[in-house]
Amino acid sequence: MTTSSNFLHACRTVLGTAHVLTTSDQVAPFLTDWSGRWRGEALAVLCPGSTSEVSEAVRLCACAGIGVVPQGGNTGLSGGATPQRAQPSVVMHLGRLTLVSDVDLLNNTLTVGAGVTLARVQEVARAAGRLFPLSLASEGTCTIGGNLATNAGGTTVLRYGSMRQLCLGLEVVLPDGRIWNGLRTLRKDNTGYSLRDLYIGSEGTLGLITAAVLQLRALPTDVVTCMLILDSSDRAMACFDVLREEFDAVLTTFELISPAALDAVAEQLPHLNLPACRPHPWVVLVECSDASAGRHDGEASSQALLSHRLEQRLAYALDTNIIRNVVIAQSAAQARSLWAIREGVPLALSRQRTALRYDLSFPISALERFLQESRSRLVALDADFLPVVFGHVGDGNLHFNVSPGAGRVNFMSEMTDRIDAVVYGLVRELGGSVSAEHGIGRAKSTPWRDSKSPVELALMHSLKTALDPQGLMNPGIFFPAAANTSLTS
Ligand code: FAD
């Protein structure tokens, strides 16, 4: 028997034959990412059903010198869950870790396995009269483990923060198979290095997250959703200022969509109800929400009062030409149809496969400068290059795609480098980040390395080598894989 068949035999003994996938049909869905851009190879896909099975499987990998690529819902947009060829690896699919505890109402927490989908967590919280606020267009498929490993953000970060702010404790299987049980429910715990914070956002490079304690919030009772129609992107920033001044923490969502992104939605998802004006304008989806439990002030409900306050503020924005028009949802169904436009943008753009995609963040004060400068520098490269923009601008986060322009199928390869240089050059100039929320994965290694100082890189490398000395956890992410060829197939 070869070394790899010994290894697979041992995995079958630990996990059961049905949970060690090896045929090409079985493994294919785990070896290509959501966008179809990244493809990989793996010896097998392992599907453990408990933390102790994860631990046993990782121990086997450590003994055999085999890389471990964690995978949850495989919706990541940076290729981080797709195994690379440089290192013989398995995909460790954590989708069977689906235990969900009862909601702890007094603590306002929920403990879940890493394989539970985000949508399921939201449902469980809602059934208990609470809110789990993280919200992404991929929520039906992405998992809590993947959300934590990428420190996912989404459309409510403005008010509730990203995954890091929503997690109190973690359970992690370490690269040698030991289990760290950090499932604490404490809001305050100043007892040394925060291991939890180290694992959040580490993209599976230091260990596998197997469970987490999540913080819940009050379920909003009053929600007002509206879509603002704007003449230009700079008005969006002015409007953000006007709304934040009045609503502060109640301002939950502030999402910008550019005319070109609306064009893509109109083309790819014609059933959606887009703003009637043509050419498409800039729009912003705004949501304010509050948890006042239906309080009344005299005759008016708190919902009516929130609507009234928003209408007044928007009337000021109309009068001062900050916005051109506004649609305020009059029902939950209308709010859903406004949200469908925003949520349709990534799907519509993913069908335009040739675009270059960037997930950038900036100080909010620098967003408009980036939009203006990037446009003029791209036009200087080629007048047809079209920036297609949307994003969580209330968090300073822009999803910035560059399309080659009408009638062109692709970019010339050297042009890709020049566009990268324009975009990442501006990120550097304006004090931004090369990855706001999607992580580094395979897609952003070079800009990530270029954006870090030697001291930062050295610190991160020290952490990696201290915690994963064999370099087997998600090899090739952040740092090049230490090719291990001890295994014969
Ligand atoms: P995967 O794709 O399986 O993995 C992502 C990374 O995490 C990989 O590096 C993987 O190795 C690692 N990983 C997965 N599980 C574990 C684990 N248990 N332990 C350790 N490492 C692990 N992201 C946002 O932040 N905001 C958005 O608004 C957003 N919108 C999206 C919209 C669409 C339509 C799509 C397709 C994606 C979107 N994403 C967004 C990206 C993606 O959904 C998130 O990054 C999500 O958190 C990934 O979860 P997952 O379970 O699919 O992880």
**Extents of the domains making up the chain:** 2-96, 100-218, 222-349
Distance CA 248, CA 428 (A): 29
Which residue out of 74, 77, 285, 445 has the highest number of ligand 1 atoms within 8 Å of its CB and is therefore the one to mutate? 77
Q: Which of 445, 449, 448 is nearest to 434 (CA)?
A: 448
Q: Under 8 Å CB-to-CB from 129, ≥6 apart: which residues? A: 219
Contact 116, 72 (CB under 8 A): no
Which residue out of 138, 214, 285, 442 has the highest number of ligand 1 atoms within 8 Å of its CB and is therefore the one to mutate? 138
Give residue 311's pLDDT: 94
The DSSP symbol for 250 reads G
Which residue out of 71, 92, 96 has the highest number of ligand 1 atoms within 8 Å of its CB and is therefore the one to mutate? 71
pLDDT, greater one: 206 or 486:
206
**Domain covering 2-96: architecture:** 2-Layer Sandwich (3.30)
Q: From ligand 1's centre to the CA of 163, what distance in Å?
A: 11
Return the CATH number of the domain spanning residue range 100-218.
3.30.465.10
Q: Reply yes or no on whether the pLDDT at 194 is more than 60.
A: yes
Distance CA 469, CA 422 (A): 37
Mean pLDDT of the 179-206 span: 96
Give the tens place of pLDDT for each residue, 249-301: 899 999 999 999 999 999 999 999 887 888 899 999 999 999 876 566 666 78
Give residue 297's pLDDT: 63
Q: From ligand 1's centre to the CA of 200, what distance in Å?
A: 12
Q: Reply yes or no on whether the pLDDT at 484 is more than 50.
A: no
Q: Reply yes or no on whether the pLDDT at 404 is more than 90.
A: no
Q: Computed from CA positions of residues 145, 197, 453, 483, in that sequence, does the dihedral angle turn out positive or negative?
A: negative
Q: Reply yes or no on whether the pLDDT at 360 is more than 80.
A: yes
Q: Which residues line ligand 1 (CB under 6 A)?
A: 34, 69-77, 80-81, 94, 114, 136-138, 142-143, 145-147, 149-150, 152-154, 203-204, 208-209, 346-347, 437-438, 441, 474
Q: From ligand 1's centre to the CA of 146, what distance in Å?
A: 5
pLDDT, greater one: 229 or 294:
229
Q: Reply yes or no on whether the pLDDT at 485 is more than 50.
A: no
Give residue 1's pLDDT: 57
Q: From ligand 1's centre to the CA of 294, what distance in Å?
A: 35
Mean pLDDT of the 451-479 span: 97
Distance CA 102, CA 115 (A): 17
Q: What is the dihedral of CA 448, 451, 453, 457, to 10 degrees?
A: 0
Percent of the chain with pLDDT over 90: 83
Q: From ligand 1's centre to the CA of 469, what distance in Å?
A: 25
222-349, CATH topology level:
Alpha-Beta Plaits (3.30.70)
Q: From ligand 1's centre to the CA of 19, what distance in Å?
A: 22
- Point out the ligand 1 atom lying closest to the alpha carbon of residue 392: 28
Q: What is the dihedral of CA 67, 481, 22, 60, to 10 degrees?
A: -10
Q: Specify the pTM.
A: 0.94
Contact 478, 459 (CB under 8 A): no
Distance CA 385, CA 408 (A): 10
- Point out the ligand 1 atom lying closest to the alpha carbon of residue 77: 41
Q: From ligand 1's centre to the CA of 79, what distance in Å?
A: 9
- Point out the ligand 1 atom lying closest to the alpha carbon of residue 439: 45
Q: Whose CA is nearest to atom 53 of ligand 1?
A: 146
The bridge status of strand 397-403 relative to strand 386-391 is antiparallel
Q: Across the chain, what does the average pLDDT equal? A: 93
- Point out the ligand 1 atom lying closest to the alpha carbon of residue 94: 18
Give the tens place of pLDDT for each residue, 146-168: 999 999 999 999 999 999 999 99
Distance CA 360, CA 354 (A): 19
**Residue ranges in 256-330 assigned as alpha helix (H):** 259-268, 302-319
